[in-house]
Copies of this chain bind each other. A is one copy, B any other.
Protein backbone atom coordinates (compact mmCIF):
# COMPACT_ATOMS: atom_id res chain seq x y z
CA UNK A 1 0.00 0.00 0.00
CA UNK A 2 1.33 3.36 -1.01
CA UNK A 3 0.91 6.30 1.30
CA UNK A 4 -1.98 8.72 0.79
CA UNK A 5 -1.60 12.43 1.24
CA UNK A 6 -4.38 14.95 0.89
CA UNK A 7 -3.71 18.60 0.33
CA UNK A 8 -5.96 20.53 2.63
CA UNK A 9 -5.55 18.05 5.44
CA UNK A 10 -4.18 19.79 8.50
CA UNK A 11 -0.93 17.85 8.64
CA UNK A 12 -0.35 17.89 4.86
CA UNK A 13 2.64 20.23 4.77
CA UNK A 14 4.36 18.35 7.56
CA UNK A 15 3.74 14.94 5.98
CA UNK A 16 4.69 16.14 2.49
CA UNK A 17 7.95 17.65 3.78
CA UNK A 18 8.77 14.38 5.54
CA UNK A 19 7.90 12.46 2.37
CA UNK A 20 10.33 14.64 0.37
CA UNK A 21 13.24 13.83 2.63
CA UNK A 22 12.65 10.07 2.84
CA UNK A 23 15.89 8.26 2.02
CA UNK A 24 15.37 5.53 -0.55
CA UNK A 25 18.78 3.92 -0.50
CA UNK A 26 21.12 2.79 2.15
CA UNK A 27 24.57 3.76 0.97
CA UNK A 28 26.93 1.22 2.39
CA UNK A 29 30.24 2.73 3.48
CA UNK A 30 32.62 0.92 1.17
CA UNK A 31 35.13 3.75 0.86
CA UNK A 32 38.02 1.97 2.54
CA UNK A 33 37.66 -1.22 0.51
CA UNK A 34 37.35 0.81 -2.67
CA UNK A 35 40.37 2.94 -1.80
CA UNK A 36 42.49 -0.18 -1.33
CA UNK A 37 41.37 -1.63 -4.67
CA UNK A 38 42.13 1.60 -6.51
CA UNK A 39 45.61 1.85 -4.99
CA UNK A 40 46.28 -1.76 -5.86
CA UNK A 41 45.27 -1.29 -9.50
CA UNK A 42 47.45 1.83 -9.68
CA UNK A 43 50.40 -0.09 -8.29
CA UNK A 44 50.06 -3.46 -10.01
CA UNK A 45 47.95 -2.74 -13.11
CA UNK A 46 46.80 -5.76 -15.10
CA UNK A 47 47.92 -8.21 -12.42
CA UNK A 48 45.55 -6.61 -9.93
CA UNK A 49 42.71 -6.62 -12.46
CA UNK A 50 43.26 -10.33 -13.10
CA UNK A 51 43.16 -11.11 -9.40
CA UNK A 52 39.98 -9.14 -8.68
CA UNK A 53 38.20 -10.48 -11.76
CA UNK A 54 38.94 -14.03 -10.69
CA UNK A 55 37.83 -13.36 -7.14
CA UNK A 56 34.72 -11.27 -7.76
CA UNK A 57 33.48 -12.37 -11.19
CA UNK A 58 34.93 -15.87 -11.50
CA UNK A 59 36.70 -14.87 -14.72
CA UNK A 60 40.19 -16.27 -15.33
CA UNK A 61 42.28 -14.05 -17.61
CA UNK A 62 44.79 -16.84 -18.14
CA UNK A 63 42.01 -18.66 -20.03
CA UNK A 64 40.18 -15.78 -21.69
CA UNK A 65 41.51 -12.36 -22.63
CA UNK A 66 40.64 -9.22 -20.73
CA UNK A 67 39.60 -7.55 -23.94
CA UNK A 68 36.54 -8.86 -25.74
CA UNK A 69 37.54 -9.90 -29.27
CA UNK A 70 35.80 -9.05 -32.53
CA UNK A 71 34.98 -12.71 -32.97
CA UNK A 72 33.28 -12.86 -29.60
CA UNK A 73 31.25 -9.79 -30.44
CA UNK A 74 30.18 -11.27 -33.78
CA UNK A 75 29.25 -14.55 -32.16
CA UNK A 76 27.28 -12.78 -29.44
CA UNK A 77 25.34 -10.66 -31.87
CA UNK A 78 24.28 -13.76 -33.80
CA UNK A 79 22.45 -14.85 -30.65
CA UNK A 80 20.37 -11.67 -30.38
CA UNK A 81 16.83 -11.95 -31.74
CA UNK A 82 16.38 -10.02 -35.00
CA UNK A 83 13.51 -7.96 -33.60
CA UNK A 84 15.71 -6.85 -30.72
CA UNK A 85 18.52 -5.95 -33.14
CA UNK A 86 16.07 -3.92 -35.19
CA UNK A 87 14.74 -2.23 -32.08
CA UNK A 88 18.28 -1.32 -30.96
CA UNK A 89 19.01 0.13 -34.40
CA UNK A 90 15.83 2.18 -34.42
CA UNK A 91 16.60 3.42 -30.91
CA UNK A 92 20.18 4.28 -31.85
CA UNK A 93 19.14 6.17 -34.93
CA UNK A 94 16.57 8.21 -33.00
CA UNK A 95 18.95 8.91 -30.11
CA UNK A 96 21.71 9.99 -32.46
CA UNK A 97 19.45 12.28 -34.47
CA UNK A 98 18.06 13.97 -31.34
CA UNK A 99 21.42 14.38 -29.67
CA UNK A 100 23.00 15.87 -32.80
CA UNK A 101 20.85 18.95 -32.11
CA UNK A 102 22.62 19.42 -28.77
CA UNK A 103 26.07 20.09 -30.24
CA UNK A 104 27.04 23.54 -28.99
CA UNK A 105 28.35 26.11 -31.44
CA UNK A 106 31.57 28.06 -31.07
CA UNK A 107 31.04 31.76 -30.51
CA UNK A 108 33.99 33.92 -31.53
CA UNK A 109 33.42 37.65 -31.86
CA UNK A 110 34.84 41.13 -31.36
CA UNK A 111 33.22 43.55 -28.97
CA UNK A 112 32.83 47.29 -29.49
CA UNK A 113 36.36 47.98 -28.18
CA UNK A 114 37.81 45.51 -30.66
CA UNK A 115 38.55 42.94 -27.94
CA UNK A 116 38.35 39.42 -29.33
CA UNK A 117 36.31 37.09 -27.15
CA UNK A 118 35.11 33.60 -27.64
CA UNK A 119 34.02 30.19 -26.52
CA UNK A 120 35.38 27.22 -28.38
CA UNK A 121 34.05 23.70 -27.80
CA UNK A 122 36.12 20.55 -28.15
CA UNK A 123 35.30 16.93 -27.48
CA UNK A 124 36.80 15.07 -24.55
CA UNK A 125 39.51 12.82 -25.99
CA UNK A 126 38.65 9.52 -24.32
CA UNK A 127 35.65 8.37 -22.29
CA UNK A 128 35.05 5.20 -20.29
CA UNK A 129 31.55 3.77 -20.00
CA UNK A 130 30.87 1.51 -17.05
CA UNK A 131 28.21 -1.13 -17.77
CA UNK A 132 27.03 -3.21 -14.82
CA UNK A 133 26.94 -6.98 -15.01
CA UNK A 134 24.11 -9.43 -14.42
CA UNK A 135 20.50 -8.30 -14.42
CA UNK A 136 21.41 -4.63 -14.05
CA UNK A 137 23.08 -4.76 -17.45
CA UNK A 138 20.78 -2.79 -19.75
CA UNK A 139 21.56 -2.60 -23.48
CA UNK A 140 19.47 0.56 -23.72
CA UNK A 141 21.83 2.25 -21.26
CA UNK A 142 24.78 1.42 -23.48
CA UNK A 143 23.13 3.39 -26.28
CA UNK A 144 22.10 6.25 -23.97
CA UNK A 145 25.64 6.70 -22.63
CA UNK A 146 27.75 5.93 -25.69
CA UNK A 147 25.83 7.76 -28.41
CA UNK A 148 26.01 11.28 -26.90
CA UNK A 149 29.78 10.76 -26.59
CA UNK A 150 29.96 9.63 -30.20
CA UNK A 151 27.88 12.59 -31.37
CA UNK A 152 30.15 14.91 -29.35
CA UNK A 153 33.14 13.63 -31.31
CA UNK A 154 34.85 11.65 -28.56
CA UNK A 155 37.48 9.66 -30.42
CA UNK A 156 37.93 6.82 -28.00
CA UNK A 157 35.02 5.25 -26.13
CA UNK A 158 35.85 2.31 -23.89
CA UNK A 159 33.36 -0.02 -22.25
CA UNK A 160 34.04 -2.06 -19.14
CA UNK A 161 31.50 -4.73 -18.25
CA UNK A 162 32.06 -7.52 -15.76
CA UNK A 163 31.53 -11.01 -17.14
CA UNK A 164 29.76 -12.02 -13.96
CA UNK A 165 29.76 -15.79 -13.99
CA UNK A 166 31.70 -15.84 -17.26
CA UNK A 167 29.38 -14.30 -19.82
CA UNK A 168 28.52 -10.87 -21.05
CA UNK A 169 24.93 -10.19 -22.04
CA UNK A 170 24.98 -10.54 -25.87
CA UNK A 171 22.51 -7.69 -26.28
CA UNK A 172 24.95 -5.39 -24.46
CA UNK A 173 27.63 -6.32 -27.00
CA UNK A 174 25.14 -5.74 -29.81
CA UNK A 175 24.30 -2.30 -28.44
CA UNK A 176 28.01 -1.50 -28.14
CA UNK A 177 28.58 -2.48 -31.74
CA UNK A 178 25.62 -0.42 -32.94
CA UNK A 179 27.02 2.54 -30.98
CA UNK A 180 30.39 2.03 -32.66
CA UNK A 181 32.28 0.99 -29.52
CA UNK A 182 34.92 -1.67 -30.19
CA UNK A 183 37.17 -1.39 -27.15
CA UNK A 184 35.46 -3.54 -24.51
CA UNK A 185 37.05 -5.07 -21.40
CA UNK A 186 35.45 -7.76 -19.26
CA UNK A 187 36.17 -6.12 -15.92
CA UNK A 188 33.89 -4.48 -13.39
CA UNK A 189 33.69 -3.02 -9.91
CA UNK A 190 36.03 -0.46 -8.38
CA UNK A 191 38.92 -2.12 -10.22
CA UNK A 192 37.39 -1.23 -13.61
CA UNK A 193 36.95 2.39 -12.53
CA UNK A 194 40.56 2.49 -11.31
CA UNK A 195 41.81 1.01 -14.59
CA UNK A 196 39.88 3.60 -16.61
CA UNK A 197 41.13 6.47 -14.46
CA UNK A 198 44.79 5.53 -14.12
CA UNK A 199 45.39 3.04 -16.92
CA UNK A 200 47.17 -0.30 -16.82
CA UNK A 201 49.51 -2.08 -19.24
CA UNK A 202 46.50 -3.10 -21.35
CA UNK A 203 44.10 -0.21 -20.84
CA UNK A 204 45.04 3.38 -21.64
CA UNK A 205 43.50 5.89 -19.23
CA UNK A 206 40.45 7.96 -20.18
CA UNK A 207 39.55 11.54 -19.24
CA UNK A 208 35.98 10.92 -18.08
CA UNK A 209 33.97 7.97 -16.74
CA UNK A 210 30.19 7.66 -17.09
CA UNK A 211 27.57 5.01 -16.49
CA UNK A 212 25.68 3.46 -13.59
CA UNK A 213 26.98 0.94 -11.08
CA UNK A 214 26.59 -0.46 -7.59
CA UNK A 215 27.82 1.10 -4.35
CA UNK A 216 31.44 0.09 -5.06
CA UNK A 217 31.39 1.62 -8.51
CA UNK A 218 29.76 4.80 -7.22
CA UNK A 219 32.34 5.13 -4.44
CA UNK A 220 35.18 4.49 -6.88
CA UNK A 221 33.87 7.17 -9.23
CA UNK A 222 33.74 9.66 -6.38
CA UNK A 223 37.30 8.78 -5.40
CA UNK A 224 38.81 9.16 -8.87
CA UNK A 225 36.89 12.37 -9.54
CA UNK A 226 39.42 15.12 -10.19
CA UNK A 227 41.86 12.77 -11.88
CA UNK A 228 39.07 12.17 -14.41
CA UNK A 229 35.62 13.66 -14.86
CA UNK A 230 32.55 11.66 -13.82
CA UNK A 231 28.84 11.91 -14.56
CA UNK A 232 26.28 12.28 -11.81
CA UNK A 233 25.90 9.47 -9.30
CA UNK A 234 22.40 8.22 -10.11
CA UNK A 235 20.03 7.08 -7.39
CA UNK A 236 16.96 4.86 -7.70
CA UNK A 237 14.53 5.84 -10.46
CA UNK A 238 11.30 7.75 -9.92
CA UNK A 239 8.14 8.83 -11.73
CA UNK A 240 5.52 11.41 -10.90
CA UNK A 241 2.24 11.11 -12.77
CA UNK A 242 -0.11 14.08 -12.68
CA UNK A 243 -3.52 12.91 -13.88
CA UNK A 244 -7.01 14.32 -14.30
CA UNK A 245 -10.22 12.29 -14.11
CA UNK A 246 -10.22 11.34 -17.80
CA UNK A 247 -7.69 8.52 -17.59
CA UNK A 248 -7.80 4.78 -17.86
CA UNK A 249 -6.62 3.69 -14.39
CA UNK A 250 -4.91 0.66 -15.89
CA UNK A 251 -2.65 2.79 -18.07
CA UNK A 252 -1.53 4.86 -15.10
CA UNK A 253 -1.07 1.78 -12.91
CA UNK A 254 1.17 0.27 -15.58
CA UNK A 255 3.26 3.44 -15.67
CA UNK A 256 3.63 3.50 -11.88
CA UNK A 257 4.67 -0.14 -11.88
CA UNK A 258 7.16 0.36 -14.72
CA UNK A 259 9.20 2.50 -12.30
CA UNK A 260 8.55 0.30 -9.30
CA UNK A 261 9.84 -2.85 -11.00
CA UNK A 262 13.32 -1.30 -11.46
CA UNK A 263 14.42 -1.37 -7.87
CA UNK A 264 13.07 -1.66 -4.34
CA UNK A 265 14.20 1.95 -3.86
CA UNK A 266 12.34 3.24 -6.93
CA UNK A 267 9.48 5.64 -6.35
CA UNK A 268 6.12 6.07 -8.10
CA UNK A 269 3.85 8.97 -7.25
CA UNK A 270 0.38 9.84 -8.51
CA UNK A 271 -1.03 13.31 -8.04
CA UNK A 272 -4.66 13.77 -9.03
CA UNK A 273 -7.66 15.94 -8.27
CA UNK A 274 -10.03 13.01 -8.63
CA UNK A 275 -10.59 10.66 -5.70
CA UNK A 276 -12.37 7.92 -7.68
CA UNK A 277 -9.50 7.82 -10.18
CA UNK A 278 -6.97 7.61 -7.34
CA UNK A 279 -8.81 4.66 -5.82
CA UNK A 280 -9.17 2.95 -9.20
CA UNK A 281 -5.44 3.36 -9.92
CA UNK A 282 -4.55 1.93 -6.55
CA UNK A 283 -6.77 -1.09 -7.19
CA UNK A 284 -5.29 -1.51 -10.67
CA UNK A 285 -1.77 -1.46 -9.25
CA UNK A 286 -2.62 -4.25 -6.83
CA UNK A 287 -4.21 -6.24 -9.66
CA UNK A 288 -1.36 -5.77 -12.15
CA UNK A 289 1.29 -6.53 -9.54
CA UNK A 290 0.20 -10.17 -9.55
CA UNK A 291 1.28 -10.81 -13.13
CA UNK A 292 4.73 -9.24 -13.08
CA UNK A 293 7.89 -11.32 -13.14
CA UNK A 294 9.49 -8.74 -10.87
CA UNK A 295 6.40 -8.38 -8.70
CA UNK A 296 8.33 -8.71 -5.48
CA UNK A 297 10.54 -5.74 -6.29
CA UNK A 298 7.65 -3.69 -7.62
CA UNK A 299 5.45 -4.48 -4.63
CA UNK A 300 8.18 -3.49 -2.19
CA UNK A 301 8.87 -0.22 -3.97
CA UNK A 302 5.17 0.64 -4.13
CA UNK A 303 4.58 -0.26 -0.50
CA UNK A 304 7.62 1.57 0.86
CA UNK A 305 7.84 4.63 -1.37
CA UNK A 306 4.72 4.81 -3.55
CA UNK A 307 2.39 7.73 -2.94
CA UNK A 308 -0.99 9.01 -3.99
CA UNK A 309 -1.50 12.71 -3.43
CA UNK A 310 -4.92 14.31 -3.72
CA UNK A 311 -5.10 17.97 -4.65
CA UNK A 312 -8.14 20.23 -4.88
CA UNK A 313 -7.29 21.12 -8.50
CA UNK A 314 -4.47 20.35 -10.92
CA UNK A 315 -2.85 23.77 -10.61
CA UNK A 316 -2.22 22.94 -6.99
CA UNK A 317 -0.11 20.01 -8.20
CA UNK A 318 2.52 22.31 -9.69
CA UNK A 319 4.22 23.62 -6.54
CA UNK A 320 4.32 20.05 -5.23
CA UNK A 321 5.79 18.76 -8.49
CA UNK A 322 8.46 21.45 -8.40
CA UNK A 323 9.43 20.46 -4.88
CA UNK A 324 9.48 16.76 -5.80
CA UNK A 325 11.59 17.62 -8.90
CA UNK A 326 10.97 14.16 -10.32
CA UNK A 327 13.29 12.38 -12.69
CA UNK A 328 10.25 11.57 -14.89
CA UNK A 329 7.05 13.62 -14.94
CA UNK A 330 4.01 12.41 -16.86
CA UNK A 331 1.25 14.93 -17.52
CA UNK A 332 -1.75 12.71 -18.25
CA UNK A 333 -4.23 15.55 -18.54
CA UNK A 334 -6.44 17.19 -21.17
CA UNK A 335 -4.15 20.17 -21.64
CA UNK A 336 -0.60 19.11 -20.77
CA UNK A 337 0.95 22.27 -22.28
CA UNK A 338 -0.87 24.52 -19.85
CA UNK A 339 0.45 22.48 -16.94
CA UNK A 340 3.95 22.19 -18.39
CA UNK A 341 4.30 25.98 -18.41
CA UNK A 342 4.27 25.86 -14.63
CA UNK A 343 6.81 23.05 -14.26
CA UNK A 344 10.24 24.24 -13.31
CA UNK A 345 11.99 21.20 -11.86
CA UNK A 346 11.85 17.87 -13.72
CA UNK A 347 14.36 15.66 -15.50
CA UNK A 348 11.98 14.89 -18.36
CA UNK A 349 8.35 15.68 -19.07
CA UNK A 350 6.03 13.28 -20.93
CA UNK A 351 3.08 15.06 -22.42
CA UNK A 352 -0.40 13.60 -22.72
CA UNK A 353 -1.93 10.20 -22.23
CA UNK A 354 -0.13 8.55 -25.14
CA UNK A 355 3.39 9.30 -23.95
CA UNK A 356 4.24 6.69 -21.36
CA UNK A 357 7.60 7.30 -19.76
CA UNK A 358 8.82 3.94 -21.10
CA UNK A 359 9.00 5.38 -24.62
CA UNK A 360 11.67 7.73 -23.27
CA UNK A 361 13.54 4.79 -21.77
CA UNK A 362 14.06 3.24 -25.17
CA UNK A 363 13.07 4.84 -28.42
CA UNK A 364 11.86 8.42 -27.91
CA UNK A 365 15.28 9.75 -28.85
CA UNK A 366 15.86 11.78 -25.70
CA UNK A 367 18.23 10.47 -23.07
CA UNK A 368 17.10 8.20 -20.26
CA UNK A 369 19.98 9.13 -17.94
CA UNK A 370 18.22 11.77 -15.87
CA UNK A 371 18.66 13.48 -12.50
CA UNK A 372 17.19 11.51 -9.57
CA UNK A 373 16.52 12.23 -5.91
CA UNK A 374 15.32 15.81 -6.42
CA UNK A 375 18.53 16.81 -8.20
CA UNK A 376 16.50 18.10 -11.17
CA UNK A 377 16.40 21.28 -9.06
CA UNK A 378 20.03 21.87 -10.07
CA UNK A 379 21.07 19.41 -12.75
CA UNK A 380 20.17 18.01 -16.15
CA UNK A 381 20.02 14.69 -17.90
CA UNK A 382 22.97 13.31 -19.83
CA UNK A 383 23.61 15.08 -23.13
CA UNK A 384 26.25 15.90 -25.68
CA UNK A 385 27.32 18.73 -23.36
CA UNK A 386 28.67 16.13 -20.93
CA UNK A 387 31.23 15.05 -23.51
CA UNK A 388 32.54 18.42 -24.64
CA UNK A 389 34.30 21.21 -22.84
CA UNK A 390 34.59 24.93 -23.48
CA UNK A 391 37.80 26.90 -23.79
CA UNK A 392 37.42 30.63 -23.51
CA UNK A 393 39.45 32.86 -25.76
CA UNK A 394 40.66 36.41 -25.28
CA UNK A 395 42.62 38.60 -27.70
CA UNK A 396 43.78 42.17 -27.18
CA UNK A 397 46.00 44.41 -29.26
CA UNK A 398 47.90 47.37 -27.82
CA UNK A 399 44.85 49.64 -28.23
CA UNK A 400 42.50 47.34 -26.36
CA UNK A 401 45.08 46.78 -23.65
CA UNK A 402 45.39 50.53 -23.19
CA UNK A 403 41.60 50.83 -22.80
CA UNK A 404 41.27 48.12 -20.19
CA UNK A 405 44.57 48.50 -18.36
CA UNK A 406 43.57 51.18 -15.80
CA UNK A 407 40.63 49.15 -14.50
CA UNK A 408 42.66 45.92 -14.38
CA UNK A 409 45.49 47.65 -12.52
CA UNK A 410 43.09 49.29 -10.05
CA UNK A 411 41.46 45.94 -9.23
CA UNK A 412 44.78 44.09 -8.99
CA UNK A 413 46.08 46.69 -6.54
CA UNK A 414 42.91 46.64 -4.49
CA UNK A 415 43.34 42.87 -4.15
CA UNK A 416 46.99 43.31 -3.14
CA UNK A 417 48.33 41.48 -6.18
CA UNK A 418 51.40 43.47 -7.35
CA UNK A 419 52.56 41.08 -10.01
CA UNK A 420 49.08 41.12 -11.53
CA UNK A 421 49.23 44.91 -11.80
CA UNK A 422 52.75 44.77 -13.18
CA UNK A 423 51.88 42.21 -15.85
CA UNK A 424 49.51 44.77 -17.39
CA UNK A 425 51.44 47.95 -16.63
CA UNK A 426 54.79 46.73 -17.94
CA UNK A 427 53.33 46.33 -21.44
CA UNK A 428 52.32 49.98 -21.55
CA UNK A 429 55.28 51.43 -19.67
CA UNK A 430 52.86 52.39 -16.90
CA UNK A 431 53.54 52.30 -13.21
CA UNK A 432 52.77 48.75 -12.05
Query: Is A303 interfacial (CB 8 A cutoff)?
Result: no
Residues of B within 8 A of A336 (CB): 395
CB distance from A168 to the nearest CB of B (A): 14
Copies in the complex: 2
A6 at the interface (CB under 8 A from B): no
Which residues of chain B are near A356, meaning CB under 8 Å?
A: 401, 423-424, 427
Provide the residues of chain B in CB contact with A355, threshold 8 Å: 394-396, 401
CA distance A411 to B353 in the complex (A): 21
A419 & B349 in contact (Cβ 8 Å cutoff): no
Chain B residue with Cβ nearest A360: B394
A112, closest chain B residue (CB) = B97
Per-residue CB contact flags for chain A residues 363-390 toward chain B (1 = under 8 Å, else 0) read: 1111100110101111111010100011
Q: Residue A55 at the B interface, CB < 8 A?
A: no
Chain B residues with CB under 8 A of A288:
419, 422
- Interface contact A366-B395, CB-CB below 8 Å: no
Within A68-96, which residues are at the interface with B (CB < 8 Å)?
81, 83-84, 86-88, 90-91, 94
Residues of A at the B interface (CB closer than 8 Å) are 81, 83-84, 86-88, 90-91, 94, 97-98, 101-102, 107, 109, 111, 115-117, 119, 122, 124-125, 135, 138-140, 171, 207-208, 226, 228-229, 233, 250-251, 254-255, 257-258, 260-262, 288, 291-294, 298, 336, 340, 343-367, 370-371, 373, 375-381, 383, 385, 389-398, 400-401, 404, 406-408, 410-412, 414-424, 426-427, 432
